[in-house]
Each structure stands twice: as structure tokens, then as C-alpha cells.
Amino acid sequence: MKDLSRDDVLMLLDREIKKTAAIIEEYRLSSGPIAPDDAINNRSIVQAAQRTAEEKLTKLYHMKDNIDSPDFGNCARCGNKIPAGRLILKPESPYCVRCAG
């Protein structure tokens, strides 16, 4: 896969930010008042998913804020270049596949 340009990565981050923000809003709406029978299980599942999505959104914004850093696109652990495929699949991750595991 060819390298991604700065604009490609920025577009990717913007698209993922928009998608994740919409998911968070759906979680907020679905964690409102619900029937008592479903309240405990469903609410805790939705709230956990919402927290995960909010963490992802924070990481996406961090990546976007640092897109012009000279180290952007390099693994935060080993310093090797993160492959374009990894950036496409997991744009919020500052780690290569080897270091993320």
C-alpha cells in the first residue's frame, strides 16, 4: 500500500471523528430512561460502550492535533513507521501492530 499523504490522514481522522461523535450521541440517547427490567444490564453495557467511544474520540483528536509533528506516523514505542494500512484501520492508535499487542 502506498504511503498516505497528510491530507489523506487528515481526511481519515475527520471522517472517523465524525463517525465516533455520532456513535457517542446514539449511546447518550439510548442510555436515557428505560424500563426497570432492562435498566441494569442495558444501561451498564451502553455506558461502557460510550466510555470506549469517548476514549477513542479523545485519541482521534490527539492524533489530529499532532498531525504536523515530525514524529507523526511513527510508532510511539519503537519509532518505526506505522504502515498505511494500520493508520486506515486504527487511526487513533499511536502504535504499530507489533507494539500495540
Residue 16 in any domain: the answer is yes
Residue 59 makes CB contacts below 8 A (sequence gap 6+) with: 92, 93, 94
Confidence bin at 25 (pLDDT 50/70/90): very high
**What percent of the chain shows pLDDT beyond 90?**
72
CB 62 within 8 A of CB 76: no
Query: Domain of 29?
Result: 6-72
Reported as a single tens digit per residue, the pLDDT across 48-93 is: 999 999 999 999 999 999 999 999 999 999 999 999 999 999 999 9
CA dihedral 7, 62, 83, 6 (to 10 degrees): 10
Tally of domains within the chain: 1
Radius of gyration of the chain (CA): 17
Contact 31, 43 (CB under 8 A): yes
pTM: 0.82
Inside any domain, residue 81:
no
